[in-house]
Structure 1
Amino acid sequence: MTSRRIQTLLGLLLLNAVLLLIYGLLGKLPSLLFTYVSPFWPPAALSVFAAMLWGWRAMPAVFLGSLWVNTDLFNWNWAGALWVSLGNVLAPMAGYWGLRRHMVEAQQIWNSPAAITRFLFWMGAVNGLLSGLFGASGLVGLEGQSAHLFLPTLLHWAVGDASAALMLVPVAHLLWLRSGRGESWWRLLLQVEGLAALAFSVLVWAAAFFAPGLSLPVRLGLLGMLLLPPIWSVFRLDQRLTLLHLAVAFILVLGATVAGHGPYAGLPLAQAVVGIELLGIAMSASILYAGALHNQRQRALAELHVLNRDLERRAEDRAQDLLRKERNFRDMIERLPAPTVITNPDTARVLYANPAARELFGNGQTDLAGMSTLTQWVDPDIRQRLLAEIRQHHAIQNREIAFRRLDGSVIWVIASVIETHFDKTNALLFAFKDISERMQREKLLQSQAQTDALTGVPNRRHFMTQAAQRLCDLAAQHQAAAFALFDLDDFKQVNDTRGHACGDLVLQQVARLLHDKMRPQDVFARLGGEEFCLLMSDVGAEQALELAEAMRQELDGQIQVCPDGHPIPLPSCSIGVAWTGVDAGSIRYRGAGQWRPDWNC
């Protein structure tokens, strides 16, 4: 046999010797008060305690201690003592098996209501009933007692073992589990609040059992008040101290009852003790459940605190990460050569504008942040349509938009817009490209394409486009229209006799005079050569003729000075007028040259 096994065996022998001695001492007091059967049996608590800590290894001491107490102190015969001792071993081991079967850890048994329920069932009900069954059957079958004592003995035995286990084992088990943590028991016992609760319990106990002149209902009411300090201490004191107070109160009540005092003084001692034990079972179960629920609440609060700290840390990390990203975002936009503006989509106020945007819309020095952009849109309806499209597609690209600068001048830009977040709020990010010069060039080219280069009035192309649209509009509105054709007489002679430079001056003056005389709603153009045309809207035939004649007469008597300084009169002008009524579907004109317009609306 190895030295390690020898040490283990010696340890078990020492453990069982100590438990055997304690078992005998605990059984001595009941043997002084009762014969054969004691309704209160402290060794039952030791059996449960030993089973929970050491299992089968401690059961030899329980068996031998029970055999010793029953034969020597209660004078049972050997057969009855052996049978009862067997029950005192099997009962706590059955409870221990039940706890292990449900995987109840010894360290967590007092912190869970479910574990408390299993402890009450296995170490209270099962242990008590099984031990009582062995005891009652041994008393009747092996000790020769009357059969009518079987049920009372079973009840008293079961209640006694259950109450001892429930009142004494929890505090002993908790003290044992925490004894290795270096905590001072005396410091625990000498807490001011704990001593105050114990003093209150002692005062209530003394009044309930020893105060003279109190009625039975008053004494029973005071007895119920003994539950107040343990309940209060559940939420204020250590769980061990709470259960210790409960055990002390139970022992005081039981001791005073055995001594013949208190509300149970008039009852037979065995019945009084059973009544106290039933009360103790109820009190113990209540306090154990309350303590377990409080422990669960404390653990939940601790876990919630840890979770909150973790969430706060994560939120702080995320906030810092977002701050870094926003700072990087700002730095990136700040360095972009493209003008970039971030605005609030609801208020249109500028949240941020990079230097390129400040240069584009201001003078480069003015900070645009906080300014409203509503007045900067040349066409506010474009903004509303743009917002509607962004809400649907979240972004738009390459839209040509006109804006006003801070000095009131208009610029054209190509804008791309995307939804984003800025400073923890929804925002729109605008990226611009200035196309003002391009728009000016396009406008100039368009003007050149539609304007006669010599005279500056609209040319034939512009007239054909405008006239076609105008005629369709007039037809839809059931309004009349008229055409007037102006043809300079003998203009070729001016070119032949005075030169083309003088002829150009003549055409320019004629175009200016005719254009200045026309109505704003009419369309005037040079068709080519010396021919000019006028489209008149909403006129009758006579009115059209009068308007054309008035314009022709504007040329009479006018003089043009040629480049060589020689003045010549402007050539006379022939006119032709064509009119269409409100019901006409088309208008045709045929005259000199090859001009044959044909519009169908």
Structure 2
Amino acid sequence: MVGTSDLRRAAVLAAETAAVAAGYYAAGRLGLLRQLVVEGAIFTPIWPPSGVAVACLLILGLRCWAGITLGALLVILSLTSPTALSPSVVFHLAGNTAAPVCAYLMLRKVGFRSDLARLRDGLALVFLGALTAMLLSSTVGVGVLLATDQLPAHAFWPVWLAWWVGDAMGVLIVTPVLLVLHAARRPPPLTRWKEAVGLAVIGLALIPLATNSHVSLLFLVYPLLIWSALRFQLAGSMLCALITSVLATVAATDGVGPFAGLTRVEVMSKLQAFNGTMALTALLLSAVITEQRNTRRSVERACQELVEVLEHLTAGDAPHGRPSTDTEDGPPGET
């Protein structure tokens, strides 16, 4: 029995590792479809594998770290031949693995909850999981490029900033979506589906217009984000943010719409500022709304329980308050 149990655990671990590696690799290939060049270095405005890695760690725990490393290796092998691999690849793999692991450890340290139902959880994901932890991967990655003479010294900070923001955007945009999908248990009722379809239709018409119009109309996305957060909380707002960021990245890499006529550095700055503010708005607004709704439900339940207790006490006190009509002595005058 012990041997069978050990084999079962090993098989489950191997399956989880393979699934995480496949998800990381698929996200990496999707991220590489759109690239920008800064100071001669190619980078992706959003690096989805960082978001996939953090989400997998939050769902499965530290045991999936090997899948992250394997997935990162597969992404590197897809870009170069195995014979061209250098010792610097080890440092890249270490940085890509250590950053999400560091994010996981810091989030667990502050009591992070994966449902993102509290404002503190949204703030923790933003400032610890994304902005702080991803400093590790960007510093290690660009540092290796500098140490191996693949990057001139004057280009360190622009490339480092682009790398860091790309990894952070992956966590801000991809991780919440994966956590929502993992937590989903049942579809919403039919009445909510009607509103969701209406929201999707408006979004599919409005978002391409905002991201491809030569007139700067990116601000039109924010009312849609607010509607999504108010009615569908994290699921609606982050899906809206994900679609918007993808279309904005496509427009930026093609140099069309509000990104037309800009230099590569200007495109990077405008795109990352837009994606960052949009992701922050969607994540924190939905967390605040969810927290307020949960607080209201808790107050309503407490009030209902208080009413039930008062009714029970009132019903229990009534018999003691009525005068007794049965006496052991007979009516007056009887002996």
TM-score tier, shorter chain, comes to 0.7 to 0.9
The answer to whether residue 226 in structure 2 is matched with residue 231 in structure 1 is yes
Residue 92 of structure 1 deviates from its aligned partner by 0.6
Paired residue secondary structure (1:105) = coil
Work out which of the residue numbers 135, 142, 157 in structure 2 matches 1:136.
142
Gap change, CA 1:297 and 1:158, over 3 Å in 2: same
The answer as to 2:236 corresponding to 1:241 is yes
Relative to structure 1, the CA distance from residue 188 to residue 231 in structure 2 (aligned partners, 3 Å threshold; closer, same or farther) is farther
Q: Which of 85, 89, 110 matches 2:97?
A: 89
Q: Secondary structure at the match of 2:72?
A: helix
Structure 2: how far apart are the matches of 1:336 and 1:159?
94
Residue 318 of structure 1 and its aligned partner are, at CA, apart by 3.4
C-alpha change, 1:61 and 1:317, in structure 2 (3 Å) is closer
1:120 corresponds to which residue? Answer: 126
Counterpart in the other structure of 2:181: 175
Which position in structure 2 is the counterpart of 1:146? Answer: 152
* Aligned mates of 1:45, 1:4 — CA distance in 2: 32
1:101/1:313 Cα in 2 relative to 1: closer, same or farther (>3 Å)?
same
Which residue identity is paired with 1:297? Q
> Which residue among 53, 56, 65 is the counterpart of 1:59?
65
Q: Between the two proteins, what is the percent identity of the paired residues?
A: 22
Higher relative contact order (CA 8 A, sep 6+): 2
1:328 aligns with 2:328: no
Match of residue 253 from structure 1: 248
Residue pair 1:67, 1:82 contacting (<8 A) in 2 also: no
Supply the distance in 1 between the matched residues of 2:183 and 2:139 (Cα, whole angstroms). 32
| 2:35 corresponds to 1:28 | no
| Residue deviations 1:206-227 (CA, integer Å, cap 9, x gap) | 322344xx54xxx2xx212212
Shift of 1:303: 1.6
1:430-469 aligned at under 5 Å gives the runs none
Instruction: With the length of structure 2 as denominator, give the TM-score of the two structures.
Output: 0.85
Q: Deviations 1:295-328 (Å, cap 9, x if unpaired)?
A: 2222222122212212222232333344433323
Written as runs of structure 1 = structure 2, the 5 A alignment for 1:200-599 is: 200-211=202-213, 214-215=214-215, 219=216, 222-237=217-232, 239-269=234-264, 271-328=266-323, 331=325
> Would you say the 8 A contact 1:91–1:127 is kept in 2?
yes
- Structure richer in helix, relative to its length: 2
Partner of 1:18: 19
Counterparts in 2 of 1:79 and 1:202: CA distance versus 1, 3 Å: same
Which structure's CA Rg is the greater one? Answer: 1
Distance 1:188 1:119, change over 3 A: farther
Contact 1:235 1:294 in 2 (8 A): yes
Deviations 1:320-363 (A, max 9, x none): 3444333237x589x9999xxxxxxxxxxxxxxxxxxxxxxxxx
From 43, 54, 74, the equivalent of 1:68 is: 74
Query: What does residue 98 of structure 1 align with?
Result: 106
Amino acid at match of 1:225: L
**Structure 2 vs 1, CA of residues 184 and 141 (structure 1 numbering), >3 Å: closer, same or farther?**
same
For residues 2-44 of structure 1, give each alpha carbon's deviation from its aligned partner in whole angstroms, at most 9, with x where no partner exists.
1221222222222222222332232224445446533331111
Q: TM (normalized to structure 1)?
A: 0.49
Number of aligned residue pairs: give it. 323
Structure 1 counterpart of 2:230, which letter? F
User: Distance between the aligned counterparts of 2:265 and 2:196, measured in 1?
Assistant: 33
Cα distance in 2 for partners of 1:120, 1:146 equals 31
1:41-84: per-residue Cα shift (whole Å, max 9, x none)? 11111111122222332222221222232344167842232211
For residue 289 of structure 1, give the secondary structure of its aligned residue in structure 2: helix
* Matched-pair contact (CA < 8 Å) for 1:254–1:273: no
The offset of 1:175, in angstroms, is 1.0
Structure 1 residues 189 and 146: alpha-carbon distance in aligned structure 2, compared to 1, 3 A threshold: farther
Asked if 1:4 is matched to 2:5, the reply is yes
Deviations 1:519-568 (A, max 9, x none): xxxxxxxxxxxxxxxxxxxxxxxxxxxxxxxxxxxxxxxxxxxxxxxxxx
Unaligned runs of 5+ in 2: 36-40
Q: Distance in 2 between matches of 1:166 and 1:266?
A: 28
Matched letter for residue 5 of structure 1? D
Counterpart-to-counterpart distance in 2, 1:190 and 1:242 = 15
CA, structure 1 residues 337+284, in 2 after alignment: closer, same or farther (shift >3 Å)?
A: farther
| Alpha-carbon distance in 2 for matches of 1:63, 1:188 | 42
Contact 1:31/1:73 (8 A) holds in 2:
no
Q: Distance in 1 between matches of 2:272 and 2:74?
A: 25
Per-residue CA distance 1:214-273 (angstroms, 9 max, x = gap): 54xxx2xx2122121221222222532332222122212222222322211222446524
